[in-house]
Structure formats: structure tokens, C-alpha cells
């Protein structure tokens, strides 16, 4: 898939670069308007450019690709159903292929903050394909030899095409970018879990000392979070499986052949490797987008997992001398403009900012999902932008996190050992034999004296030295079993 320059999640961040002095006059139902002579887009796109000078944000490249996939498959199906002649059908398919491949990206200049149904983007696509197909058949741009509505949009409405394109774009981007990136991150964390499995360290709850764990166990927890994240992404794809195509304006399927949607989605499922099917109920599929809200919620959950892992690594690597310092993070760049030699956990920090963005995007998608009034939801473009940005950010952050942080982490084994022996939580292992209150007193006495729990237990002769050695073995504390009693809290 061709990627655009600039912000990854947009097809273009600047309007189409045509010379405004050279124009042609086009007409629609509202009258005449000048359009750049060399533009493949037409009069309705030109109106949208004038109407929505809001931001530099454009429809994500993946959505434009999906629009091309829909229009190409629609032309094939309409020809097979004898609704479209071969010549215009073939020309539409060729023009739509150029849209799919990203060759016409500069022809999509409409702002994200446009009509809530995305009609401007649908007509932008129809006009670009119409004019390119017309040109392929020897006609002049703007002549509508291949008509944007009658031919390119045959059997369709913006109200069913745009939500379908968003579903396709999101599912395909999850499949092609996010799941592979998460798989790499999971493998990196799992390798570290195995590498660090013999290293015992102090556990922490409430940011306070707790009973020992193995560093590998901590990393195993992180690996499992990402493994579950992959499962969640597959659930997101399942939520996106049903599409609105075939419902046309309000869900009734007016002006659409009854076999159109299933045939189009069979083609697109084969081309993308993602499963799509016609909605069970078109009124649900068009009047609401609970599916996008659900998918965004899965992405938000993944972002929360990332935030936990990244922050834990920042804590574990804090120091290098005056922090926890149990792991050493890869040094990627100087950390301070004033403090020489300082190195910061910048990769983990970048991940936390991605998480904040994704969580914020989910709020926008959620609010967009509430803009479902009667037979149509009217915040589709901004929902598309935020959902696709979240997918792409999490994918790129996953790859970068694995490559520039996780894969290079080293354990500070000596530091882990020294902190365990100093922990007062070691007394937890003695509680089943000497009682909770006696163990608590022992810990307090050790703290006041500056001694370790082991030293104080020996001094007070609470148990034999042989029994103390067994109970206070840190490795034994990292596994189930042993005397039964209160295990802390």
C-alpha cells in the first residue's frame, strides 16, 4: 500500500496542487463553478473545498484506498448484473485501481471536518474516478462521459459507502500493520521473560516493597498483556465485519440490486484478506456505528496496556544510581541540554504519549457514535480519522518499542539481589509459622534498627537458622506452595 508523506494517517495534508488560474466550468444541481483544468475532481469537490476550510486534516490514505476498492468491485458487479456496459465498467475499474494504488492521492483535498455523512468524500471519489475513466475512454475531463453518480455511484449512497469504507480501512490496517507489530512486540517481551526468569527481585504493590518475584515473571505479565491485545484486535475486526453497503440512503436498499452488496463484499474480502459481509440489519448498520465505538474501545484497552508496560519500565530503569535501577534501558540519545551524561527513557515516554493520543481519540469516536440520529450517523469522517490514527500510531509505536527499547533491555542482577535482602516484606514468609502480629513486630524492629529481617530474626531467635534459611529463600517465595497463612495485601 502506498503511504503518503507527512502525517501518516492522512492521504494529504495540503489541498490539490493545481494552478488556480487555469480552470474549467462545471455544473451541478446548484449551478456553475470553476474547477482547476487539470483536476480530476469536479464541481462538488470544488464546493467542498470552499465550504470546509477548517484544518489541514484529510481523509486517511487507508480510507481512500478502501473507497477505490469499493468502486472497483462495484463496477465489476454492476457489469455482471448487466446494469453497466463493459466499456465504462472497465474504465471505472482501471481508474479505481489508480485510486487504490495511491496514484491520485493529491486529488482528495476535502477536509475531515465536512458533511457528517462523508458525502463530500464519496463525491470526491466518484468525480475523480469519473474523470479519469472518461479520459481513458477519450473524453475530456468534466464532460461526464462516465458519470460520477449514474455510473461510478451506481447502486450506492454516501450513507452506506462511507461507513463501509471505514470498516474496510480499519480492519485491513489492523491486519496489515497493527497485528504484525504487536506480534513482534509480544515475541520481544516473551524472549525477555525467558532470559530474566532466573533473576529474583523485590515485588512492589502500592509502590511499596512486597514479596519477591522473578524479573522474568514481570516480563511474562507484559507479554501476556500484548498477547491479549492481539486477541482484542481480532475482536475489533470481528466487530467491523458487517458493513452497511447495500442499504443506500436510509437502509431500505432503494435503487440497489439485492445481490449487489454480497457480491461486492465477496470481492473485497478476497482482495484484502479480511472477512466482510452484508449487514444483518441495514438500519442498524447505517443509523449507528456501535461497531466503530467497539473497535475504538479495544484500541483504548491496548493503549492502557502499553501505558502500564512503558511506565513500569521507566520505574524499573530509574537511576542509574539513585533510583530502582533493576534494569538498564538502551541508551538512545542524550537526555539533557544542561546535565552532561544524563540519559532518559525516551522510547518509553514516546509510547506513553501515543497512549494518551489513542485514549483521546477514543473519546472522539465515542462522541461520534452518539451522533446517530434516526437513519444516519453524522460524524463519520472524524470517527474515521481518529480510529485510523489510533491503529497506525499503535502499530508504529509497537515496532519502535520492540526495536529500540524491549530488545535491548539488560537486567541489573546485583541490584535486584541487594534490594531483596533489604526488604521488610521478607517477613511475610515467616507469618505462617510465627503468626502475623509477631512477623509485623519483627519487621518494625528490623526497620527501627536498620537491620534486615533475616538479621533481626536470627537475633531474636524466632526460628532455627536452618528453618529461617529455608523460609527466607527469595526463590522459594516466587513460586506457589510453602506454609499456608496470610500472604500480605
CATH number, position 467: 1.10.40.30
Q: Does one domain contain both 270 and 353?
A: yes
Q: Where are the beta strands (DSSP E) in 287-446?
A: 327-328, 372-373, 376-377, 410-411
Does some domain include residue 178?
A: yes
Number of Cβ atoms within 10 Å of the Cβ of 332: 14
Q: What are phi and psi of 259, to 5 degrees?
A: -95, -5
Assess contact for 195 and 407: CB atoms under 8 A.
Answer: no
Residues 234, 149 contacting (CB under 8 angstroms): no
Q: What is the CATH number of the domain that holds 89?
A: 1.10.275.10
Over residues 129-169, the pLDDT tens digits come to 999 999 999 999 999 999 999 999 999 999 999 999 999 99
At residue 344, the 3 state secondary structure works out as coil
Report pLDDT for 489.
58
Please give the residue that has the higher pLDDT: either 75 or 337.
75
Q: What b/e sequence results for 367-386 when a residue is b if at least 16 CB atoms lie within 10 Å of its CB, and e otherwise?
A: ebbebbeebbbebbbbbbbb
In this structure, is residue 449 part of a structural domain?
Answer: yes
- pLDDT tens-digit readout, 202-257: 999 999 999 999 999 999 999 999 999 999 999 999 999 999 999 999 999 999 99
Looking at the structure, do residues 449 and 473 belong to the same domain, yes or no? yes
Examine the domain organization and report whether 350 and 439 are in the same domain.
Answer: no
Please indicate, yes or no, if residue 223 is contained in any of the structural domains: yes
Backbone angles phi, psi at 324, to 5 degrees: -70, -50
**Number of domains within the chain:** 3
pLDDT tens across 410-421, in order? 999 999 999 998
Report yes or no on 391 lying in a domain.
yes
**Which residues form the catalytic set?**
206, 336
Find the domain containing 282 and state its range.
Answer: 161-407
139: exposed, middle or buried (Cβ count in 10 Å: 0-12, 13-18, 19+): middle
Residues 265 and 174 in one domain: yes
Amino acid at each position: 500500500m502506498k503511504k503518503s508523506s507527512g502525517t501518516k494517517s492522512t492521504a494529504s495534508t495540503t489541498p490539490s496542487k493545481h494552478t488556480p488560474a487555469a480552470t474549467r466550468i462545471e455544473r451541478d444541481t446548484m449551478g456553475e463553478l470553476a474547477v482547476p483544468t487539470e483536476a480530476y475532481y469536479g464541481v462538488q469537490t470544488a464546493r467542498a473545498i470552499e465550504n470546509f476550510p477548517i484544518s489541514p486534516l484529510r481523509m486517511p490514505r487507508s480510507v481512500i484506498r478502501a473507497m477505490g476498492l469499493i468502486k472497483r468491485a462495484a463496477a465489476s458487479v454492476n457489469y455482471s448484473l448487466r446494469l453497466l456496459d463493459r466499456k465504462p465498467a472497465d474504465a471505472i475499474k482501471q481508474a479505481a485501481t489508480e485510486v487504490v494504488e495511491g496514484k491520485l492521492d493529491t486529488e482528495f483535498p476535502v477536509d475531515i471536518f465536512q458533511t457528517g455523512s462523508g458525502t463530500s468524500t464519496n463525491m470526491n471519489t466518484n468525480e475523480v474516478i469519473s474523470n479519469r475513466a472518461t479520459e481513458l475512454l477519450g473524453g475530456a475531463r468534466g464532460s461526464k462521459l462516465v458519470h460520477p453518480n449514474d455510473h461510478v455511484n451506481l447502486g450506492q449512497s454516501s450513507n452506506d459507502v462511507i461507513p463501509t469504507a471505514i470498516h474496510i480501512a480499519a480492519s485491513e490496517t489492523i491486519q496489515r500493520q497493527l497485528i504484525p507489530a504487536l506480534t513482534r512486540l509480544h515475541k520481544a517481551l516473551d524472549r525477555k521473560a525467558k532470559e530474566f526468569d532466573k533473576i529474583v527481585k523485590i515485588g512492589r504493590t502500592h509502590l511499596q516493597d512486597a514479596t519477591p518475584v522473578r524479573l522474568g515473571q514481570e516480563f511474562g505479565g507484559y507479554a501476556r498483556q500484548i498477547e491479549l491485545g492481539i486477541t482484542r484486535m481480532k475482536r475489533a475486526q470481528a466487530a467491523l465485519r458487517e458493513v452497511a453497503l447495500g442499504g443506500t440512503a436510509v437502509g431500505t436498499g432503494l435503487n440497489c440490486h439485492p445481490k449487489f452488496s454480497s457480491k461486492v463484499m465477496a470481492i473485497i474480502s478476497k482482495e484484502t484478506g479480511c472477512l466482510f459481509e452484508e449487514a444483518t440489519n441495514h438500519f442498524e448498520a447505517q443509523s449507528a456505528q456501535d461497531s466503530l465505538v467497539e473497535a475504538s474501545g479495544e484500541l483504548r484497552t491496548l493503549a492502557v496496556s502499553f501505558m502500564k508496560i512503558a511506565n513500569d519500565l521507566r520505574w524499573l530503569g530509574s537511576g542509574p544510581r539513585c533510583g530502582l535501577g533493576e534494569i538498564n534501558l538502551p541508551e538512545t540519545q542524550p537526555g539533557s541540554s544542561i546535565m552532561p551524561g544524563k540519559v532518559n527513557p525516551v522510547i518509553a515516554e514516546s509510547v506513553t504519549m501515543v497512549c494518551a493520543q489513542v485514549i483521546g481519540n477514543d473519546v472522539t469516536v465515542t462522541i461520534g457514535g452518539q451522533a446517530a440520529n434516526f437513519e444516519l450517523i453524522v460524524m463519520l469522517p472524524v470517527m474515521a480519522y481518529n480510529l485510523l490514527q489510533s491503529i497506525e500510531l499503535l502499530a508504529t509505536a509497537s515496532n519502535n518499542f520492540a526495536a529500540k527499547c524491549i530488545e535491548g533491555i539488560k537486567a541489573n542482577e546485583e541490584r535486584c539481589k541487594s534490594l531483596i535482602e533489604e526488604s521488610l516484606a521478607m517477613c511475610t514468609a515467616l507469618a505462617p509459622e510465627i503468626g502475623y502480629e509477631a512477623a509485623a513486630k519483627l519487621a518494625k524492629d528490623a526497620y527501627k534498627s536498620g537491620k534486615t529481617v533475616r538479621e533481626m530474626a536470627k537475633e531474636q531467635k524466632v526460628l532455627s537458622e536452618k528453618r529461617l534459611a529455608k523460609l527466607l529463600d527469595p526463590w522459594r517465595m516466587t513460586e506457589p506452595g510453602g506454609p499456608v497463612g496470610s500472604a500480605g495485601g
